[in-house]
Structure 1
Amino acid sequence: MIQTMEQLFRLPRRQKRVIQVLVDVVLLAGSFLGAMMLRLDNWSPIFEWETWLSLLVTIPFSVMVFKWLGFYRAVIRYINLKALQAIVAGILVSAVALGVTSHLVDLGLPLTVPFIYAMLGLLTVGGVRFFLRGLYLRSLMRHKMRVVIYGAGSAGSQLVTSLSHGNEYAPIGFIDDWRGMYGTLVEGLKVYSPSELPQLIENYGVERILLAIPSATRSRRREILKSLENLPIPVQTVPAMDDVVAGRARINEIRDVAIEDLLGRDPVPSLPNLLDANIRNKVVMVTGAGGSIGSELCRQIVMQQPRQLLLLEICEYALYRIESELQQLVASQDLQISIKALLGSVQQRTQMDALMRIFQVQTIYHAAAYKHVPMVEHNVVEGIRNNVYGTLETARAAIDCGVETFVLVSTDKAVRPTNVMGTTKRLAELICQALAHHQQTTRFCMVRFGNVLGSSGSVVPLFHQQIKAGGPITVTHPEITRYFMTIPEAAQLVIQAGAMGRGGDVFVLDMGEPVKIAELARQMIRLSGLEMITEDNPGGDIAITYSGLRPGEKLYEELLIGENVTQTAHPRIMTANETFWQWPQLNAYLQQLYMAVSNAQHEWIRQLLQQAPTAYRPEGPIADLVWKECDVPAVRVVKPLRHSPTEQAANHADLLKVSTVSLAKGGTHS
């Protein structure tokens, strides 16, 4: 039967219309004769010529009315309420035509016959079409994935309508938290309570749950996802209503559950006066503009309408990508903003000076840095050059060129660091703190926060890839925890914190509750409808393996150093007063560190990093790849930090001697 229907639906359009007309003729004639039989209770009128004359007039007229109403243009498989309205209108006109015709030919029919005819015609003509539509949809059910929609609101209703015309999902019911909805019908589907989900999965073979609650807060979505974790099917979601309204997504775009929903952190509205204080009608530069934070800063900055936005990036492709995106954004929003894409390195002082003077930069967001802990641990020299001296050269250029505001994007790994990357970011903070108190030209401030979701190197996309590949998911340690924040929220808070700075401020973003990475992995496995392989469940789908902490990696991240923490006007931004060196002392230290870095004296570099007020406490041996491969041991000299000009000059002389001796012994430095 189903195969015959599929063949029928594959016929050419013209043939299907001819079949519809012929079927309607038979159904209308049958409805007329049936109405006469029901009313008169005998067959005699059927044999009268007036009866057939009425049929010959009424049926062609009815078919013409149906055609005029667009009845035969409607596709049966997509027939809907509008088509039903056309059927009702056509049948009513046909019934009136029957009454008028029978009166003109003096058939002598009772007035109730046209009424009964209308009822029978509606049941037959309309019923056949909806019956065929039901058969078609039933045939599709064999190839569709059965789903339950969580949320019987407007989003859920729209989703059912969209999915019913697709070839992928077959909704079989709704789940809703509101008791008043239980047992009701929405789009023809029953609404169930959340407690009935396991029964629905078992009875109807439900294979997936689709969340249609785009307007719910993240904390509420987290509660719902928590309640769905133990079900044996995956959970997916529809886009947020803001994206749907803005045209960035459609309601039927099924997506994996966003990791921010698992964290349950609701964003706090921005303060407009802080967002545009350092940006509107000003020339703004973003260093590291192609990175995760840098690119999002650029997007946020554009919406605050600077006069000019300078994108500084050392990676050509990253620069091309963010410039193209911003140009499209500016054009779509009809903004009058000049965007300049500049290739260059923050370590090049001459170039930084030239750019800031030529374009008359007023605000700098310094996001350029090497940020991956193991990568910097394996490339110590370049990590220090970029993160420390890149910040130093950019900051000095900003002062010389009269830049008004300099905002350093820092990290929670700068707090009591156990790795070189965190130590270099703390040194960058020390540079900004010292320079803030050493001059009055440029206002320096630092913004420190934890991990951002979706950034390059983030665990979340890595976990998604590993789940799709069938596992295992790799976690460094069972107890490792991290703070997380979305990239847009982090960028907004950086901009707002920068507007609060008075000079030398260290701002700390409220990252919420820390998250265990292993628990995050387990949640992602469960919400994918899979089971974790454990000792109790060896037949599971995906295992979690622990690879051990990488060089320089900490179990727990911190956001503050001191206890002197003050709340600001923004509920998610705090400020801390922390220890730092005055510029003369720091400058002398940076000169020594530069000599050690220039000569790749890794043991001396480690000693110097420990002498600075960074609280650097390395937990393992030096991991630099070049240093580990050196075959000829270089002369390793560790000098104490000296602060007087005489001692500093002597120390520099010693450094030069060490460099000469080291080169003579094989050309390697360690």
Structure 2
Amino acid sequence: MRKQRLNTFFDHIRIFRGLMVRKTFWVVLFTDIVLIAVSHVLAYAVRFDFELFSQSNRIIGLFPFFVAVKIPVFYIFGLYRGMWRYTSITDLLNIFKAVCVSSGFIIMSVLYLNRFEGFSRSVFFMDGVFCFLLVCAHRGVIRYVLEDGEMFKWLPYRIKTNRQIRRLLLVGAGAAAEKVIREVRDNHGVPYEVVGLVDDDYRKQGLKIHGIPVLGKTVDLKESALRVSAEEILITIASATGEQMKRLVDICRETALPFKVLPSMGEIIKGRLSVSAIREVDYRDLLGRPVVSLDQEKIGSLITGRTIMVTGAGGSIGSELCKQLVRYAPGKLILLDAAEENLYKLQMELHHTIGFHNYIAVLAKIQNESLLDALFEEHAPSMVLHAAAYKHVPLIELNPWEAVSNNIQATKCLLDVVARHNIERFVLVSTDKAVRPTNVMGASKRLTEMLMLSHSKRGRGTSFMAVRFGNVLGSSGSVVPLFRQQIAQGGPVTVTHPDVTRYFMSIDEAAQLILQAATMGSGGEIFILKMGQPVKIANLARDLVKLMGYEPDVDIKIIYQGLRPGEKLYEELITEGEGIVPTAHKKIMVLQSNGQANRVGEDVLSELFDCSMRYDARGIKDALRRIIPEYQPDKHADAVIKITTNIDSSQLVV
């Protein structure tokens, strides 16, 4: 304790020595002494009707005592260590405390020494009030002078800022807008000047935020932008729904000005709300996905300090899962992927960007059972997140043997090894295309679900479960990057069918809910993520054309090419015989199985694998149909295989 006190004392000495070499410290200190004198004289002037001559001896006699008490107390309360260009309520509260303590000490001292004989008690109270007001005003003036760029252009820090300042109009006059205005003023490297706001709340009309007026409603955006000569628009309504964002985007486009958006509410919660995070409006904003609520404690208990394996770690879902896992400080991550480039990119991002080093990058195929055994034996992971899979429907339809090898055989191999080593939890990442599948990819994922259920029913120590969801925005094979590329090239944008719909969610939302579902399973569950309303792909294409500043069917043509092999008009999330059961999480449901997992026999699997080895597309589909009664293969796809495959006819049976 004594050593700690000595260290604290020496720390104060070092801080004080550092302050003494700063010119601003002496300027502020001298100003405070002057303000102490002014407040002292003002107190006597008010008390004695400005007849100060008769009180001059008392004023002069007490002044050194006031300075000797107040200046050290001001220092103790940190009044000389603040950066006054960022004066806040906290700083004003510290000034109030310092004035109260110093005035209280002065009053107690005078009371103890002479019982206030010859002194007016009210003078000491008024002195404290005047001192507080003057010191606060001094700090406020410092901030105002350093912030204002129009009235004080002669200041040196403004002369150094030689860049083009863009006039920014904010849509939304809430907390996010207030933070943007403050950062624009505080951060002199930001090339913006906020000139106005618009908001639909009638109660805010005519009000000001930090001196910036609310000019009108969002429908009047074009007129407001012209009135203040705005050069750019920023949407600062972080909690806007998808429909609200579409409306705002349409209004912004009418102004012909460039417009951007603040991060989503989820990004704001992560502490990324800043002007540097301003970005272009993305299709994710138009979806309006709400913030995911997670049970951080439960997720942390599964991950923190433990070894976790992620298969397909370099893929879209796998890499996001790894980034989400890092937040919970795992003891070790085993990153398994067969794609060298993807695995390398993830490794570099974890190591250099995120700063996480406790990982092992394994470049291998999951079908290598002996390697899996060695990995599990050496590292003993507590949970396996199986995200590896081929998922491109048309490609898999033309090469069905790859779905059997990479999706089905690999998963069966991994399930066998997991069960053999009694891993605590196994989570299969599945898809809505597994529901009443019409393509090989969906059928292969449905079979992996059935294999998972079959292992779960054997009653071993591992909790096997699956998580089923729809399309992921921005993932490999997503239509959004394709549409963006087509628009950038001048079109046309190719849509399969005018009525085709798909479920969508963001990558980070999917990864977070997968981890949440992993905490809820006890074994044998297929969890389903609430995807919201299905989205028409044609509408998605039109929205993206508008976002990129063009007019659909005028600047950029949208053409329809027909459904591809194996595709359906719409996707489903549950199949016949399954019932939805709610869970404790409002965005996660669990499906009751129809018991089909019991009918997966080794003989029919052997036949399926044999067909795969012989590149027998028709045999693969027949075997899948016998295992999965609801699987109805697309007959058109068989003809396509026969025409387009490059494999020698001696190796291909159709």
- Alignment-mate amino acid for residue 263 of structure 1: L
Q: Deviations over 1:258-282 (max 9, x none)?
A: 3232112212310124313432332
Question: Which secondary structure state, in structure 1, belongs to the residue aligned with residue 632 of structure 2?
Answer: coil
CA–CA distance in structure 1, aligned partners of residues 283 and 396 of structure 2: 27
Q: Deviations over 1:274-307 (max 9, x none)?
A: 3134323322111001111111111222222332
Residues 239, 255 of structure 1: 8 Å contact kept: yes
Question: Which secondary structure state, in structure 2, belongs to the residue aligned with residue 502 of structure 1?
Answer: coil
Identity of aligned residues (%): 39
**C-alpha displacement of 1:542:** 2.1
Aligned equivalent of 1:94: none
**C-alpha displacement of 1:204:** 6.7
Aligned equivalent of 1:297: 321
2:283 maps to which of 259, 262, 265: 259
How many residues align? The count is: 498
Residues 147, 172 of structure 1: 8 Å contact kept: yes
Q: Deviations over 1:38-85 (max 9, x none)?
A: xxxxxxxxxxxxxxxxxxxxxxxxxxxxxxxxxxxxxxxxxx999xxx
Residues 160, 187 of structure 1: 8 Å contact kept: no
- Alignment-mate amino acid for residue 191 of structure 1: V
Query: Is 1:192–2:218 an aligned residue pair?
Result: no
**C-alpha displacement of 1:360:** 1.5
Larger CA deviation: 270-279 vs 431-440: 270-279
Query: Is 1:503–2:523 an aligned residue pair?
Result: yes
Aligned equivalent of 1:324: 348
Q: How does 1:468-479 map to 2 (within 5 A)?
A: 468-479=488-499
Question: Which secondary structure state, in structure 1, belongs to the residue aligned with residue 196 of structure 2?
Answer: strand
**C-alpha displacement of 1:238:** 2.6
Larger radius of gyration: 1
Aligned equivalent of 1:595: 610
**C-alpha displacement of 1:211:** 0.8
Query: Is 1:238–2:252 an aligned residue pair?
Result: no
Aligned equivalent of 1:91: none
TM-score (norm 2): 0.69
Aligned equivalent of 1:547: 561
Aligned equivalent of 1:212: 236
CA–CA distance in structure 2, aligned partners of residues 622 and 532 of structure 1: 32
Aligned equivalent of 1:619: 634
Larger CA deviation: 461-470 vs 374-383: 461-470
Aligned equivalent of 1:574: 589
Aligned equivalent of 2:74: none
Aligned equivalent of 2:202: 179
Aligned equivalent of 1:387: 407
- Alignment-mate amino acid for residue 380 of structure 1: P
- Alignment-mate amino acid for residue 405 of structure 2: R
**C-alpha displacement of 1:612:** 1.6
Residues 235, 529 of structure 1: 8 Å contact kept: no
CA–CA distance in structure 1, aligned partners of residues 593 and 526 of structure 2: 8
Change (3 A) 1:412 1:573: same
TM-score (norm 1): 0.67
Aligned equivalent of 1:92: none
Change (3 A) 1:585 1:424: closer
Aligned equivalent of 2:601: 586
Change (3 A) 1:305 1:433: same
Query: Is 1:428–2:448 an aligned residue pair?
Result: yes
Larger CA deviation: 156-165 vs 357-366: 156-165
Residues 86, 186 of structure 2: 8 Å contact kept: no
Question: Which secondary structure state, in structure 1, belongs to the residue aligned with residue 333 of structure 2?
Answer: strand
Question: Which secondary structure state, in structure 2, belongs to the residue aligned with residue 276 of structure 1?
Answer: helix
Aligned equivalent of 2:247: 226
**C-alpha displacement of 1:546:** 1.7
- Structure 2: gaps spanning 5 or more residues: 1-84, 88-147
Change (3 A) 1:557 1:235: farther
CA–CA distance in structure 2, aligned partners of residues 308 and 192 of structure 1: 54
Residues 415, 614 of structure 1: 8 Å contact kept: no
Query: Is 1:459–2:479 an aligned residue pair?
Result: yes
Aligned equivalent of 1:272: 296
CA-atom RMSD in angstroms: 3.5
- Structure 1: gaps spanning 5 or more residues: 1-79, 83-126, 534-539, 635-665
Q: Deviations over 1:461-515 (max 9, x none)?
A: 3333333333332222111111111111211211221222222211111111111
Residues 448, 508 of structure 1: 8 Å contact kept: yes
1:449 maps to which of 469, 489, 494: 469
Residues 149, 211 of structure 1: 8 Å contact kept: yes
**C-alpha displacement of 1:389:** 0.4
Aligned equivalent of 2:41: none
Aligned equivalent of 2:551: 531
**C-alpha displacement of 1:448:** 0.3
Question: Which secondary structure state, in structure 2, belongs to the residue aligned with residue 192 of structure 1?
Answer: strand
Q: Deviations over 1:172-213 (max 9, x none)?
A: 532123323323455665422223223345667766531123
